[in-house]
Amino acid sequence: MELRTLRYFVAVAEELHFGRAAARLHMSQPPLSRAIKQLETEIGATLFDRSSAGVTLTPVGAVLLDEARSLLDQADRVRVRVAAAAGAATLTVGILGDSTDPGVTRLAGAYRRRHPHVEVRIRETDLTDPICGLHAGLVDVALTRGPFDETALTVHELRTDPVGALLRADDPLARRDGLRLADLADRRWFVFPEGTDSIWQSYWSGGESRKGPVVRAVVECQQAVLWNGTVGVTLLDHRPAAGLTVVPLTDMEPSRVVAAWNEGDTNPLIRSFVQIASTAYRH
């Protein structure tokens, strides 16, 4: 029974969907299905009930899930301890200007408890670098938001957050219960500098080319609205500065909180980080 196969099994058991599990594992569905069938043959029992209604764990599968998680956690701890013994127990984490997120606080505590001997270095970046220096090798893993160019990266979604329009509190639109992007079509928006990832820029500009003051950080976004009456997109649950308000945008997809790392990087510290983050951001 290989650890890789157990990781496949855990992904299917957590997603209860072979397609989503395959996407999470960055592989196609047929080899994943074959691996699970081979595991069932090896164990001599059915692990999943498959029907038109979906996929569910069998009692045997539920037992294996507990054991597999324990084995995989132990394997990761072994790798981390070996890395520590070799003097390589350092993880550099890039954070996209949002270190006040309670998910980050929970993650920091949980990671510290799991890996007390790992030194975690934090590199906080502004809104012009959504991958937090991954391609440049400045960080090992990034806590950031999509969408952005995912070329040569592995990306794992942690949570989605609704977004809204950031407005002055005295703006006539601020009295609305909800807005559509069309309601903001004739307004000036805050925008990111030229050269910023185009996919990232497009999302935060509502899919259109906008004109307005150039910003690099969250506080600059707020000040652009406060001083110039511009508008822009922000997280719905972010508490705006005095004099500002956020109105829900009903026709925008939620913002995705993700963990990202360089494709092919097998650092066990990253794997453990992403697993712990998946739990920390679900609460």
- Mean pLDDT confidence for 77-91: 69
Q: What is the DSSP letter of 231?
A: B
Q: Which two tokens stand for residue 14?
A: 């957590």
Predicted confidence (pLDDT) per residue in 172-218, tens digit: 999 999 999 999 999 999 999 999 999 999 999 999 999 999 999 98
Ranges for all domains in the chain classified under CATH 1.10.10.10:
3-82
Residue 54 pLDDT > 90, yes or no? no
Q: What is the pLDDT of residue 88?
A: 58
Report how far residue 242's alpha carbon sits from residue 148's, in angstroms, rounded to the nearest whole number: 31
Total count of residues recorded for the chain: 283
Distance of CA 77 to the CA centre of its chain: 23
CATH class of 163-253: alpha beta
Burial of 245 (0-12, 13-18, 19+ CB in 10 A): middle
Report how far residue 257's alpha carbon sits from residue 145's, in angstroms, rounded to the nearest whole number: 5
Pick the CATH number of 3-82 from 1.10.357.10, 3.30.1450.10, 3.40.50.2300, 1.10.10.10: 1.10.10.10
Pick the CATH number of 89-159+256-280 from 3.20.20.70, 3.40.1280.10, 3.40.190.10, 3.20.20.140: 3.40.190.10
Beta pairing partners, 192: none
Predicted confidence (pLDDT) per residue in 146-182, tens digit: 999 999 999 999 999 999 999 999 999 999 999 999 9
